[in-house]
Structure 1
Amino acid sequence: MGQGGDRIDRERIERGRIDLSADPDGVVAELAVRLSAFPRHGGQPDAADLKAASVAILLVHQADGWSVVLTRRAAGLRRHGGQWALPGGRCEPGETAVAAGLREVAEEIGLDLPPARVLGLLDDYPTRSGYHITPLVIWGGAAPAFRPDPAEVASIHLIPLADLTVEDAVDFVTIPESDRKVVRFRLQERLIHAPTAALLYQFREVLAGRVTRVAELEQPTFAWR
Structure 2
Amino acid sequence: MRSTMAEHLAAFRPVPVELDGRRPASVAVCVLIAADVPSVLITRRAPRMRAHAGQWALPGGRREPGETAPQAALRELEEETGVRLGPESVLGLLDDYPTRSGYVMSPVVVWGGVTDGVFAAQEAEVAGVHVVPVADLDVPPRMLTIPESESPVIQLPLLGGMLHAPTAAVVHQFCEVALHGRSTRVAHLEQPVFAWR
TM surpasses 0.5: yes
State the shift of 1:139 in Å: 0.6
Runs of 4+ in structure 1 deviating by more than 2 angstroms, as ranges, are none
Alignment deviations for residues 182-214 of structure 1 (CA, whole Å, 9 cap, x no partner)? 001012312000000000111111112311111
What residue in structure 2 maps to residue 39 of structure 1?
A: 13
Count residues with an aligned counterpart. Answer: 195
Q: Within 5 Å, give how 1:1-225 maps onto structure 2.
A: 27-42=1-16, 44-45=18-19, 47=20, 49-144=21-116, 145-167=118-140, 170-206=141-177, 207-225=179-197
Letter in 2 for 1:34: H
Quote the Cα distance in structure 1 between the aligned partners of 2:38 and 2:192.
Answer: 28
Alignment deviations for residues 65-124 of structure 1 (CA, whole Å, 9 cap, x no partner)? 111011000011111111100000000111111111110011000111101101100000
Structure with the greater relative contact order (CA < 8 A, sep ≥ 6): 1 or 2? 2
Letter in 2 for 1:173: L
Which structure shows the higher helix fraction?
1
State the structure with more CA Rg: 1
Quote the Cα distance in structure 1 between the aligned partners of 2:8 and 2:152.
Answer: 27
Quote the Cα distance in structure 2 between the aligned partners of 1:165 and 1:93.
Answer: 34
What residue in structure 2 maps to residue 20 of structure 1?
A: none
Which structure shows the higher strand fraction?
2
Q: Structure 1 residues 43 and 174 mapped into 2: Cα distance closer, same or farther (>3 Å)?
A: closer
Q: Provide the alpha-carbon RMSD of the alignment.
A: 1.1
| Unaligned stretches of 5+ residues in structure 2 | none
| Unaligned stretches of 5+ residues in structure 1 | 1-26
